[in-house]
């Protein structure tokens, strides 16, 4: 679980977290998730792999405000080595879901070509599937 404290500057004039920040928090939680697997983005990039976002789907359930602390759970929904589908569940301190989302990622080599992680980086493939 990753935790993010809503910052004052992340809110709008009404005192509610601006919707664009949730996507940033997804990225923070995803980076934390990957680092805990031992494959942070710095390591992947050093090994010649980048992982762009291919798609996002978001559902806003309940407003958050400063200074809420949001728990963000990241789960692997599907990964067969080509595309990685992640799910994000954000909850407030009361345990209420405030936001759910999914993101899909692919993996590219330094030439911008799609690579199959299960074949090209089997140890990374195993780490993701064990972290599930």
DSSP letters, 33-52, are HHHHHT--HHHHHHTT-B--
Phi, psi dihedrals of residue 117, rounded to the nearest 5°: -60, -35
Identified catalytic residue from 12, 42, 59, 96: 12
Tell me the HSE value of 114 on the side-chain side, using a 13 A CA sphere.
9
Q: What share of residues in the chain are helix, strand, coil (percent, to 5)?
A: 30, 35, 35
Quick one: tokens of 10?
């992340």
Annotated active-site residue 12? The verdict is yes
Catalytic residue list: 12
């Amino acid at each position: 679980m990753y935790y993010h404290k809503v910052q004052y500057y992340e809110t709008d004039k009404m005192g509610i977290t601006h919707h664009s920040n949730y996507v940033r928090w997804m990225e923070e939680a995803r980076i934390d998730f990957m680092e805990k697997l031992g494959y942070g983005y710095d390591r992947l990039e050093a090994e010649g792999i980048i992982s762009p976002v291919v798609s996002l789907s978001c559902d806003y359930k309940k407003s958050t405000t400063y200074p809420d602390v949001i728990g963000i759970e990241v789960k692997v929904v599907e990964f067969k080595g080509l595309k990685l589908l992640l799910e994000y569940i954000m909850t407030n301190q009361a345990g209420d879901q405030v936001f759910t989302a999914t993101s899909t990622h692919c993996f590219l080599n330094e030439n911008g070509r799609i690579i199959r992680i299960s074949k090209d980086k089997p140890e990374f493939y195993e780490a993701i599937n064990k972290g599930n």
